[in-house]
Amino acid sequence: MSYPMSLGQKSYEALLEEIKELEKENQILKSTIKTADIQQTKVSDLLQFTQYSIDSISDSILWVDQNGKYIFVNNAACINFGYTKEELLSMTMFQVDPLFTKEIWDAHWKEILEKKTFTLETINKRKDGSLFPIEVTVNLVEYGGKQYNCAIVRDITEQKLNEAKLKQTASRLEEVNATKDKFFSIIAHDLRGPLGTHREFSKHLSERISDFSDAELEINLQILSESSDNLYSLMENLLNWARNQSGHIQFQPVRIHIHSLVESIIELLKLSFQKKQIQVQNKIPETLEIIADQFMIETVFRNLLSNALKYSFQNQTITIGYERIRDEAKTPLFTHRFFIKDEGVGMTKDQVGSLFRLDKKVSTLGTNSEKGTGLGLIVSKDFVEKHNGNLWVESEPKKGSTFFIELGHIAIE
């Protein structure tokens, strides 16, 4: 038995149409949910990637609140400072920066609020107590209604080492330039001048030789001989210095009877000593043997004796002495210390301070107006330092000078 459909009831076709609409809405909802899931996955992946990036970089990232407390640190901060994350997040920045106090931090925080971002250098301390230089990039950030310093910290130990190396290189370059300038100065002036004078005097002497008496001829020949000796000495020091600077002089230590070596130098300079009536006392023990490079040591003593002769007056004494110094660090070894003492003009503190330097021209005329370049002392110091030793002088004006030669320990292979 069938009943007629009431007016309040929907037809089959209408219900079917509603179902279709509901299915469409369901599909749209499913699509929306899927899109949301995809977006959520992307956001999650992005957050993970961001966290990974923050934790993977070598620079430390530390968030600090206005009280100096750490509220976020990345993995690099833990590695660089030697703490765990839990330890750092329980600490304040005063515990890793020995230069900051609470008072300094308060002023620093005001600077952060004003400038918002800037860079500074300071020192931080690791958990093991070691200090290391850092560069900090300060960034003011606001999050959750609060203000923080997002500090990016970079270890600049290597940078500082490189800066120090650059300074050393620059200093060495200045020395090399001074050496070059001195070299050309010696060639252009100190060598060219005496050489020109020597040539002119020789020419004058040869042209007028028949006009001179025997006594005058002897005097002039003596002057010519002294000029030749000075030129030879200057040229020898110049060549030795140039060879030493270029590394062409080999260091060859042997056993030396030092007393006999000094006696041979005194004999070489005998005529010059006699001309000034200088007494030379060689107080080095006759049995003393040292291990040294004979050529270098002979050059050192010859230069220092010539120097003492130049600045001594008539009838004075030059003393060559020796003392054995115990090396406290290497007992029972001893250090050989020699000295050459004159009674001549002496030097001021400024003159002493300028010795052994190529960038300073400190040569002074001798007591008989003898000329020099100061190069002999520089060569001598270089040669003494080849022996792990030291060369220095003690002097006072009008009281003479004493040059000390101290030789380090040398082994013969």
- Whose tokens are 């040398």? That residue is 410
Helix (H), strand (E) at residue 189: none
CA distance 347 to 337: 22
Question: Quick one: pLDDT band at residue 46, thresholds 50, 70, 90?
Answer: very low
Check pLDDT > 90 for residue 322. Answer: yes
Tell me the residue type at 412.
I
Question: Quick one: pLDDT band at residue 5, thresholds 50, 70, 90?
Answer: very low
> Six-digit token pair at 392?
């220095």
Verify cis geometry, omega within 30 degrees of 0, for the bond prior to 285: no
> What DSSP assignment string belongs to 158-170?
HHHHHHHHHHHHH
For residue 295, the model assigns a pLDDT of 86
pLDDT tens, 364-406?
655 655 555 677 888 889 889 989 899 999 999 888 999 999 9
- The residue-averaged pLDDT of 303-309 equals 90
User: Is the Cβ–Cβ distance between 86 and 115 less than 8 Å?
Assistant: no
- The residue-averaged pLDDT of 28-35 equals 72
Residues 166-204: b if buried by 16+ CB within 10 A, e if exposed: eeeeeeeeeeeeebeebbeebeeebbeebeeebeeeeee
Check pLDDT > 90 for residue 113. Answer: yes
User: Is the Cβ–Cβ distance between 231 and 195 less than 8 Å?
Assistant: yes
Q: Mean pLDDT of all residues in the chain? A: 80
For residue 50, the model assigns a pLDDT of 47
CA distance 265 to 281: 12
DSSP code at position 5: P
User: Is the Cβ–Cβ distance between 326 and 334 less than 8 Å?
Assistant: yes
Sequence spans of domains, the chain: 14-56, 61-155, 173-249, 251-413
Query: What is the third-level CATH fold of 251-413?
Result: Heat Shock Protein 90 (3.30.565)
pLDDT tens, 58-71?
788 888 999 999 98
User: Is the Cβ–Cβ distance between 251 and 293 less than 8 Å?
Assistant: yes
Bridge partner list, 325: 335
Pairing of the two strands 317-326 and 279-282: parallel
Check pLDDT > 70 for residue 48. Answer: no
- The residue-averaged pLDDT of 171-196 equals 67
pLDDT tens, 248-270?
678 888 999 999 999 988 888 88
For residue 20, the model assigns a pLDDT of 73
pLDDT tens, 184-235?
666 665 566 567 667 777 887 787 887 778 787 777 777 777 667 767 766 7
Q: What is the CATH number assigned to the segment(s) 173-249?
A: 1.10.287.130
Question: Quick one: pLDDT band at residue 345, thresholds 50, 70, 90?
Answer: confident
Query: Spelled out in words, what is the top-level CATH class assigned to the domain 61-155?
Result: alpha beta
pLDDT tens, 226-248?
667 767 766 776 777 677 666 66
- The phi, psi pair for 141, rounded to 5°, reads -130, 150
User: Is the Cβ–Cβ distance between 236 and 177 less than 8 Å?
Assistant: no
CA distance 314 to 381: 28
